Amino acid sequence: MKIVNKKFIACCLMTASLLFACEDLTETNVDPNGLQTQLVHPNLVMPTVISETGIRVVNLGYQDIAGVMQHTQKNGWASAHNGYDWGGSQDWNSYYDVLRNNQLLHDRAIEMKMEFHQGVSLVIRAMMFGLITDLWGDAPYKSALKGSKGGAENLQPVFDSQETIYMGILEDLEAANTLLSKSKSEYSGIDNNVDLLYAGDPAKWRKLANSLALRYYMRISSKKPVESKAGIEKIVGDPATYPIITSASDDAAMAYAGTSLDTSWPTAAEFGNDPTNYTRLEVAEPFVNTLQALKDPRLPVWVKKVSIPLVVDASLPAGTDKIQNGKRYLSPDKVGNAVVDTDPDYVGLPVATSALPAAYNLNPTPNQGELNPHVSGLTDIYKKSKDPLLKARLCSAAEVNFILAEAAQKGWAVGVAETYYKKGIEESLKAWGVGASYATYILEPGVVYNGTLEQLIQQKWIASWTAAAEAWFDYRRTGLPDLQAGPVAKRQKLPVRFYYGRDELQLNEANTRAAMDRLEVTSYSQADGQNSAWSKPWVLQGTNKPW
Based on the domain organization, do 430 and 507 belong to the same domain?
A: no
Q: Are residues 108 and 145 in the same domain?
A: yes
pLDDT for residue 407 is more than 50: yes
Q: Are 522 and 460 in contact (CB under 8 A)?
A: no
Of 39, 172, 190, 209, nearest to 116 by C-alpha is: 190
Same domain, yes or no: 232 and 109? yes
- Pick the more confident residue, 36 or 2: 36
Tens digits of residue pLDDT in 348-375: 999 999 889 999 999 999 999 999 999 9
Q: What is the mean pLDDT of residues 296-302?
A: 98
Give domain status of residue 492, yes or no. no
Same domain, 460 and 517: no
Q: Are both 88 and 148 inside the same structural domain?
A: yes
- Cα separation, 268 vs 127, in Å, equals 26
pTM for the structure as a whole: 0.93
- Do 108 and 206 sit in the same domain of this protein? yes
pLDDT tens figures, 325-338? 999 999 999 999 99
What is the rounded distance in angstroms from the CA atom of residue 248 to the CA atom of residue 396? 7
- Kindly state the average pLDDT of the residues 502-521: 96
Inside any domain, residue 292 = no
Task: Write down the pLDDT at residue 162.
Answer: 98
- Does residue 189 lie within any of the structural domains? yes
Q: Is residue 202 part of a domain?
A: yes
pLDDT tens column, 460-487? 999 999 999 999 999 999 999 999 999 9
Q: What percent of the chain has pLDDT over 90?
A: 89
Domain tally for the chain? Answer: 2
Q: How far apart are CA 352 and CA 79, in angstroms?
A: 8
pLDDT band (50, 70, 90) for residue 2? very low
- Tens digits of per-residue pLDDT, 49-97? 999 999 999 999 999 999 999 999 999 999 999 999 998 778 999 999 9
Indicate if 525 and 460 belong to the same structural domain: no
In a domain, 413, yes or no: yes
Residues 211, 111 within the same domain = yes
Give a yes or no: residue 285 inside a domain. Answer: no
Over 70: is that where the pLDDT of 425 sits? Answer: yes
Domain for residue 304, yes or no? no
Q: Are residues 169 and 86 in the same domain?
A: yes
Instruction: For residue 151, name the pLDDT band (cuts at 50, 70, 90).
Output: confident
Give the confidence band of 232 by pLDDT, cuts at 50, 70, 90.
very high
At residue 154, the pLDDT reads 81
Together in a domain, 422 and 528: no
User: Could you tell me the pLDDT band of residue 491, with boundaries at 50, 70 and 90?
Assistant: very high
Q: Which domain holds residue 412?
A: 6-26+38-269+396-478
Q: What is the pLDDT of residues 109-138, one digit of tens each?
A: 999 999 999 999 999 999 999 999 999 999
301-318 residue pLDDT tens: 999 999 999 999 999 999
Domain match, 224 and 264 both: yes
DSSP letter, residue 89: -
CA proximity to 341, closest of 333, 353, 350: 350
At residue 444, does pLDDT exceed 60?
yes
**3 pLDDT more than 90:** no
Closest CA to 12 of 39, 46, 36: 46
pLDDT at position 11 is 37
Burial class (CB in 10 A: 0-12, 13-18, 19+), 166: buried
CA 409 distance to own-chain centroid: 25
Please check the confidence at residue 283 and state whether its pLDDT lies above 90. Answer: yes
Note whether residue 252 is domain-resident.
Answer: yes
Rounded Cα distance between 202 and 206, Å, is 6
Check pLDDT > 60 for residue 19: no
What pLDDT shows up at residue 490?
95
Please report, for the domain that includes residue 182, its CATH number: 1.25.40.390
Per residue, the 3-state secondary structure of 210-278, as one string, reads: HHHHHHHHHHCCCCCHHHHHHHHHHHHHCCCCCCCCCCHHHCEEEECCCCCHHHCCCCCCCCCCCCHHH
Which of residues 426, 445, 478 is at a domain's end? Answer: 478
CA–CA distance, 260 with 502 (Å, rounded to integer):
32
Q: pLDDT band at residue 211, thresholds of 50, 70 and 90?
A: very high
Q: What is the pLDDT of residue 22?
A: 37
- Do 11 and 116 lie in one domain? The reply is yes
Please provide the average confidence, as pLDDT, over all residues in the chain.
Answer: 93
* Span 128-156, average pLDDT: 91
CB atoms within 10 A of CB 491: 19
